[in-house]
Each structure stands twice: as C-alpha cells, then as structure tokens.
Amino acid sequence: MPIFKKYRFLLIFAFGLYASVFSQSKIITVCATCEVKSIKDGVALAQDGDTIFIKKGTYKEHLITINKSVHIIGEDKPVLDGENNTESIFTVKATNFSISGLHFINVGMSYTKEIAGIFVSKSENFELKNNIFDHVFYAFIIQSSSYGVLKNNQIKGESKNETSSGNGVHMWKCDHMRIEQNNISGMRDGIYLEFVNKSHIYNNTSEHNIRYGLHFMFSNHNEYYQNEFKSNGAGVAVMFSKFIEMHHNTFHFNWGSASYGLLLKEIYDANIHDNVFEQNTIGINIDGCSRIDYQKNHFIRNGWALKFTGGCYVNTFEFNNFMHNAFDLSYNSRLNDNKFEANYWSEYNGYDIDKNGIGDVPFRPVKLFSYVVNNTPETLVLLRSLFVDIINFSEKVSPVFTPDNLKDNKPLMNPIDPIKD
C-alpha cells in the first residue's frame, strides 16, 4: 500500500480536475454585497448540478420555485424570512436536489392553504438537512415524492390550537423516505405521514406537539425506531396501516385525559418490540388490531399499560415488563384471543418453588375494577381504595366478569433486562 499512499494526493487532485472540467457545474454565491443578491436570482441563474451558496444574512423572500437539480447550501444559517406571507418559501418540483443549512422563519398561516418552509412535490432523490424552522406554519410538506432524506432539522413551533397550526413534517403519497435525527416540538403533529410506504423514521425527537408526536395513516411497510416521543398532547397515532416495525422507541409523559403513548387503530401484521412506555395515561391503546407481536417492551408507571377497545385477535405479548401501572390491562370483551405469556408483572405475587424463574401459578392481568371502570369511568375515583382491593381479590379467586382464559401461564419472577441501544 505505500505506493497508493504516495500517490493518493495526486489521485484526488486528478478526480477534482475531472469533476470541475467535465461536469461544468458551478457555484453561485448569494449575499447582500455579492453580485447575486437574492436567492431567486441565484436559482434563476443556476443550471442542473449547480450549487447555490448562501452567505449569512437575512433574505426576505418567498415563493422561490425550484425545478432543476440544484444544491442550496446556507453558510452560518442565513435567515429566510417569509414575513408571514401565505406562500411557501421554497416550492420544489425536481430530482437530485438538496437544501441545507438554512434558517426559516415567519411562514404565514392559512386556514385554506398548505404553506411550508419547504414544499416539495413530485420529486425524487433529494436531501433536506441541517435546517432550522421557527414560527412556521408547516416546516416540510412533501407530496408524491420518493427517495428523499430529511435529516437533522430543528423545527420549533408555538402552536396554540389544532386549527391554526400545521405539522412539522407532513408527507403525503411518498415512498422510500428517510426521516432521521430531526427535532420537532410545538407543532400540531410532529410528523404526519399519509400514504407513505417503505420508509424509515429513526432517531427523531418529537415533543410537546399539541396533537400527535407522530401520526401515521394508510402507510405500509414502514419502520420506525429509536425515536423519542415525549409530552405530546395525544401521543403517537398509527392507523390503518400494515407491516410496520416499531422498535426501540421511547414514549413517555404523554399525560392527559385523552392521551396515550401509542394509539394503534386497525393495524395488522406489525412488530412492536423493545420500546419503552413510561408514564403515559394509556401506554398503548389497541383498537381493532390483529397479528401483532409485542416483545420486550417496557410498560412503566402508566395509567393503563394496555387498553383494548375494538376486536383484537391473534396478538402475542411475550417477555414484556409491566411495572407499577395503575392498570396493566383493560379489556373490553369477555372473549380473549390474544396470548400473554412469559411477561414480567410487578403485581404478580405468586411463588416459584422449582426456582426456574417462572411463577408456578398463572397471573391474571385484568382486574374486576378495570372491568367496572370500563363501564362506569367515574368509579375510577375509588382507585387504591380498600374496597377495590377486596373486589379485585374476590374476582381473582373466582373470575366471573373477566375472561377466564386471559392469563399469563408463565409469569416471570424477575423483570427482563432493560434495553440497551
């Protein structure tokens, strides 16, 4: 290898020469004192493959239309001020482009139009990264596009109510997207995905959004992992979707009378594993979902760890930790077609004579009180009263109201290992 090392510099130089001479791409610099003073002018001058370099400063522009393969790069986060006009700052319809390093502010609000910092439609192969958004109606709206990357953007809103606010990332009819390492807070929905397939959402933080941290509709074959969803108004909603992988996410502090860590509605064939649900009013609200595997999730100090509402079939729950929830399970029917096995339940007080780590008597996660509360929510004020303990005990001894076969036959004596990521 010494030879290669010796000529490495030469090689790189030769390649650079080739690129600049033969591709003929150029760099257009935009700044207040430059020849090109506005981004719009810069874009107009650019051709496919060019880079527009925006220097530090404030640019009061909107409706910058991009329809060629350009790379827009901001230096020291130049500010793009939309001055609350009801037009998007960038509208893009192109392939092979990127926008990065910009600071978007004051994108106007409208009740009739969707207005964003960056509005992308019918595009392919793009990267939108390292941008900052403040006071924007929507940060990103992406429609009918594919192979896009949204990376390391900081989106911060000050939404007050649902009708007058927009989403952080709003995608519609997209596929093969990657949303990673973004920080979204104070929007309506942190991330809203509708008809988005085969995409990956990971390492994002979505918190203090007034509705959902992540909102997922009619989107199949997606995977989201290692995200943190915290203190969102309603939590995370995943609806009407199939083949979703959800793992290593943290859902916590989604606390409020209509909040949950995760709402699953009409979800089929999903895998949910290694997630942490901590201190949510409802850990997972499961409404009409079937064929889902729940493994190694941690349910810690939620109001309800799991709440079943609609018919749910052939779901399995294995190796999960249920710790110190007010209710581990709330069940709406007396029939059970779901399997609970080998979970750890902090309320389990059975014994393990043969010391194999598995309790010798089954655990019944549904309490009579949770059945009563289901029918008459007001009775919840009796939570932790002696009377409730007594009726729960009597139900435990001889189940009358709760499904007889809903039990964990192999309850673990010790919690499963906390996840390491």
Partner 1 sequence: MLKILKYSIYDLLRSRWSYVYFIFYLILGFVLLFLNNDINKAIITLLNIIIVLTPLIGTIFGVMYYYNSKEFTELLLAQPIKRSTIFMGQYLGVSISLTLSLVLGIGIPFVLYGLFKSAAIFDFGLLLVVGAFLNFIFVALAYNIALANENKIKGFGYAILVWLLLAVVYDGVFMILAIKFQEYPLDKFALISMMLNPIDLSRTLILLKLDISALLGYTGAVFKEFFGTSLGLFISLFVLFTWVLIPAWLINRKAGRKDF
Nearer to partner 1, 190 or 235 (CB): 235
Binding of partner 1 at residue 413 (CB under 8 A)?
no
Angstrom distances, CA of residue 58 to CA of 16, 35, 66, 157, 163: 33, 16, 20, 20, 30
- Using CB under 8 A as the binding rule, the residues of this chain from 251 to 290 that contact partner 1 are 255-259, 281
Site string for partner 1, 300-329 (x = CB under 8 A): -x-xx-------------------x-x---
Which amino acid is present at 73? I
Cβ at position 412, least distance to partner 1 in Å = 18
3-state secondary structure 136-185: CCEEEEEECCEEEEEECCEEECCCCCCCCCCCCEEEEEEECCEEECCEEE
Site string for partner 1, 109-128 (x = CB under 8 A): --------------------
Cβ at position 420, least distance to partner 1 in Å = 20
3-state secondary structure of 230: strand
d(CA 348, CA 328): 11
Nearer to partner 1, 256 or 403 (CB): 256
- Name every residue whose Cβ is closer than 8 Å to that of residue 356 and which is 6 or more positions away in sequence: none
Distance of CA 403 to the CA centre of its chain: 34
Binding of partner 1 at residue 400 (CB under 8 A)?
no
Please give the size of the binding site for partner 1, defined by CB under 8 A: 27
Cβ at position 355, least distance to partner 1 in Å = 20
Nearer to partner 1, 11 or 390 (CB): 390
- Using CB under 8 A as the binding rule, the residues of this chain from 324 to 383 that contact partner 1 are 324, 326, 372, 375-383
Nearer to partner 1, 295 or 302 (CB): 302
Nearer to partner 1, 354 or 417 (CB): 417
d(CA 172, CA 178): 14
Cβ at position 324, least distance to partner 1 in Å = 6
List contacts with partner 1 (CB under 8 A): 255-259, 281, 301, 303-304, 324, 326, 372, 375-388, 390
